[in-house]
């Protein structure tokens, strides 16, 4: 074999090596892409149309409870009996609107005024009970 044939043979050998490396990298990239694509579907939690909880508290940007939905309502307000319902509070934490169904089966809706400074004081302005 003369030197030109040997050079050509070495060149073919190098090209074969580069082709194998390129194929290996391509295969690994394809497998990686497939793994990422499949894991996006496998890792997702199933979406549900129903959210179940006993109480939901919606806070304002300062972290204060502003809307409370509960069954029963769990809060620090003195209720006549455990109630299932909703309370809307002002920025100071005072309940300003409440809607609830108590254990006796009475449903009530109350609209409260801002806190009073006079004594005696009744902050409840409108109460509707059925």
Picking from 74, 69, 111, the residue whose alpha carbon sits closest to that of residue 90 is 111
Q: Which residues pair with 102 in a beta bridge?
A: 83
For the chain (length 130 residues), average pLDDT per consecutive 10? 82 89 88 81 72 89 91 73 87 88 88 81 80
> Which residue in this structure is represented by tokens 């003369």?
2
pLDDT (0 to 100) of residue 34 = 85
CB-based contacts of 112: which residues, under 8 Å, 6+ apart?
A: 94, 95, 96, 97, 98, 123, 124, 125
The H-or-E segment that residue 20 falls in is helix 3-42
Q: Give the predicted TM-score (pTM) of the model.
A: 0.56
Picking from 126, 60, 129, 70, the residue whose alpha carbon sits closest to that of residue 93 is 60
pLDDT (0 to 100) of residue 76 = 63
The H-or-E segment that residue 82 falls in is none
Domain definitions of the chain by residue range: 1-47, 55-129
> Rounded to 5 degrees, what angle do the CA atoms 58, 130, 124 make?
55
């Amino acid at each position: 074999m003369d030197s030109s044939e040997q050079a050509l043979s070495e060149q073919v050998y190098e090209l074969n090596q580069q082709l194998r490396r390129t194929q290996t990298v391509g295969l690994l990239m394809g497998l990686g892409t497939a793994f990422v694509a499949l894991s996006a579907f496998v890792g997702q939690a199933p979406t549900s149309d129903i959210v179940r909880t006993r109480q939901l508290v919606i806070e304002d940007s300062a972290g204060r409870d502003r809307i409370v939905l509960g069954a029963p309502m769990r809060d620090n307000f003195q209720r006549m009996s455990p109630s299932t319902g909703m309370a809307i509070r002002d920025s100071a934490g005072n309940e300003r609107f409440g809607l609830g169904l108590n254990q006796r089966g009475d449903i009530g809706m109350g609209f409260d005024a801002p806190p009073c400074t006079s004594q005696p004081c009744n902050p409840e302005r409108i109460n509707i009970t059925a």
